[in-house]
Structure 1
Amino acid sequence: MDANTSALLLPKLSDYNIFSGNPQALIPGNGFQLYELATGLFTDYTEKQRLIKVPAGTAITAVNDGLPQFPNGTILVKTFYYFNDKRAPAKGKRLIETRLLIKNNNQWVAGTYVWNPEQTGATLATSGSNTPVSWIDEKATTRKISYRIPGTRDCASCHNANNTLMPIGLKVRNLNIPVVRNGHPINQLQYLHEAGVMNDVNPQQCSTLPVWQNEKYSIQDRVRAYLDVNCAHCHSDAGSCARSVVRFAWDMPLDATRITEKRNRIVSLMARGRMPRTGTTVVDSAALALIKQYFQLQ
């Protein structure tokens, strides 16, 4: 992290007053609003909580189905954690890191805050690091990994559009899903508008990115949604893999992506844990199996 970047970030996560009460409970406070994604980025099976806050009197503005326009002062928060036992979340969780994206003077600044062992707070990291993590998964198997907490340069390798730091997942089509807020179902775009976060958008006039695990969608749509969220930000004309001939964007015609043409290369890289290249240390076996199944049908 360079001096100019670190000077714009507060040293402790608590300085932002993101959470109310016990920070480990992850209860949003101080105007931060929860948001969810139809399909999220795979990060070594972590759970994630996503929050957004915009300055009073401003809102993010949807101009199409992609990334909205964000006002200066926007703060995006993503906390990564593991349930001790995924079959029984009430048994507790371990918070690993919280990443912030803050828009200041029309530029985004990224910071990673690492939670202490006591789970009472998190401090700004100056570089990347590894930490051992163990949890019990849905099949009662104890999983152990060396989790990689990224440094600022790691974040910038993916959050990159023409060498400019940008958000990735918070696209309108990825937000256009039903959610439950205050015990009631509501379209998330409508909820964000009512919460004062987003301009008034008609959800029916916006497309929806499929939930890649949901079998109600076609296998092609599920695979393309997964590849869009996990790969398209780098494999784009403005991304860090611009020289690659493969594109993964959801809104690009399949024939133009060269996905099926390069199927063997894609499967090989994923199977070796080399795609996505940042943020993972293990292979997303369920996604890889689905992608292999899809290619076998071509």
Structure 2
Amino acid sequence: MAYGAGSADNSGLLPPKLSGYNIFSGNPVTLTPGNGFVQYELATGLFTDYAEKQRLIKVPAVKPITAVNDGLPQLPDGTILVKTFYYFRDKRTPSKGRRLIETRLLIKNNNQWMAGTYVWNPEQTDATLATGGSNTPVSWIDENGRGRKISYRIPGPRDCASCHTADNNLMPVGLKVRNLNITVTRDNKSINQLKYLWEAGVMDNVAPEQFAELPAWQNEKYGIQDRVRAYLDVNCAHCHSDLGSCARSAVRFAWEIPLADTRITEKGKRIVNLMSKGSMPRTGTTVVDTAALGLIKQYFQLP
């Protein structure tokens, strides 16, 4: 599909407040989707300093998205993609509440994508459109009862563009059919997500078995090579592509590229070194994903 050039700096084109979109129903902290917004999940998600994420999509009622292959589906004008980043105050007990940090939007109109980042206020009642990047202190208790503190990076327009731009075209990254082709729970029932999105009016009817399934990188039922490749595909492939910001690199991480053509195996030490230093991914994180790094070290048999 051809994507318009778009822009990551739309401070003059987007509403100043997130509430103008009616994305959430009732108290925003509950993250209850508003009318027309449908939640979706990914098999493997982007790592962002251990933040939790809610993903929503809204499409025009008469124009569902179309899956043509395992990659990005065809998304009609009027599509809104929403990703809200938050932390549970105590991950062991989610009922103790959450803190919303930011909500990122990708909006398609006239065959062009626009991006916007909205920062939540301390009262957690609304979020304001950001015109530049910023840092905010975040603290939480993790699943092991350990108190954590970080300086969370909220991206500016240039940060967004560094990952979401290919050949000067702004475009989505994670919403690939193979990453959507998973089993989810809706209304206390298990259902293939592609089927669910069709029932919800978001996607054309498809046969899920016709499409690949990206492994969930943390799921040990998959082999280590598949888990590592899934993680690298989601976290690194968008930059390490022929049209991405790391096009000059010899390494490619996209899932669909045969391993022998990626140079992943021969660059194992380099990959681990950059990840250990927090230099890959170079945007969107301030701390190292230690669990993923450990798995990748194991795969390359490195200490």
The equivalent of 2:116 in structure 1 is: 111
SS at match of 1:97: strand
Give 1:239 deviation, angstroms.
0.6
Query: Structure 1: how far apart are the matches of 2:183 and 2:69?
Result: 19
One-letter code of the match for 2:244? G
SS at match of 2:271: helix
Larger mean CA deviation between 177-186 and 2-11 belongs to: 2-11
SS at match of 1:262: helix
Query: Structure 1: how far apart are the matches of 2:291 and 2:17?
Result: 36
Alignment of 1:182-201 (within 5 A): 182-201=187-206
2:43 is the alignment partner of 1:43: no
2:165 is the alignment partner of 1:160: yes
Give 1:3 deviation, angstroms.
11
* Paired positions, count: 296
Cα 1:98–1:4 change in 2 (3 A) is closer
Alignment of 1:1-298 (within 5 A): 5-296=10-301
Residue deviations 1:217-264 (CA, integer Å, cap 9, x gap): 000000000000000000000111000000000000001000011111
SS at match of 1:179: strand
TM-score with structure 2 setting the length: 0.96
Give 1:5 deviation, angstroms.
2.0
SS at match of 2:265: coil
Query: Structure 2: how far apart are the matches of 1:191 and 1:229?
Result: 23
The answer to whether the Cα contact below 8 Å between 2:8 and 2:160 also exists between their aligned partners in 1 is no
The equivalent of 2:4 in structure 1 is: none
The answer to whether the Cα contact below 8 Å between 2:8 and 2:114 also exists between their aligned partners in 1 is no
One-letter code of the match for 1:59? P
Query: Structure 2: how far apart are the matches of 1:194 and 1:222?
Result: 30
SS at match of 2:231: helix
One-letter code of the match for 2:297? K
Larger mean CA deviation between 39-48 and 8-17 belongs to: 8-17
One-letter code of the match for 2:269? N
Query: Structure 1: how far apart are the matches of 2:106 and 2:246?
Result: 22
State the percentage of identical aligned residues.
78
Give 1:104 deviation, angstroms.
1.1
SS at match of 1:200: coil
The answer to whether the Cα contact below 8 Å between 2:8 and 2:158 also exists between their aligned partners in 1 is no
One-letter code of the match for 2:44? T
Query: Structure 2: how far apart are the matches of 1:295 and 1:264?
Result: 8
Runs of 4+ in 1 over 4 A off after TM superposition: none
Query: Structure 2: how far apart are the matches of 1:80 and 1:23?
Result: 12
Query: Structure 2: how far apart are the matches of 1:188 and 1:3?
Result: 29
One-letter code of the match for 2:226? D
Structure 2 runs not aligned, ≥5 long = 1-6
Give 1:29 deviation, angstroms.
1.0
Structure 1 runs not aligned, ≥5 long = none
Query: Structure 2: how far apart are the matches of 1:237 and 1:107?
Result: 21
The answer to whether the Cα contact below 8 Å between 2:9 and 2:115 also exists between their aligned partners in 1 is no
Give 1:183 deviation, angstroms.
1.5
Give 1:160 deviation, angstroms.
1.2
SS at match of 1:98: strand
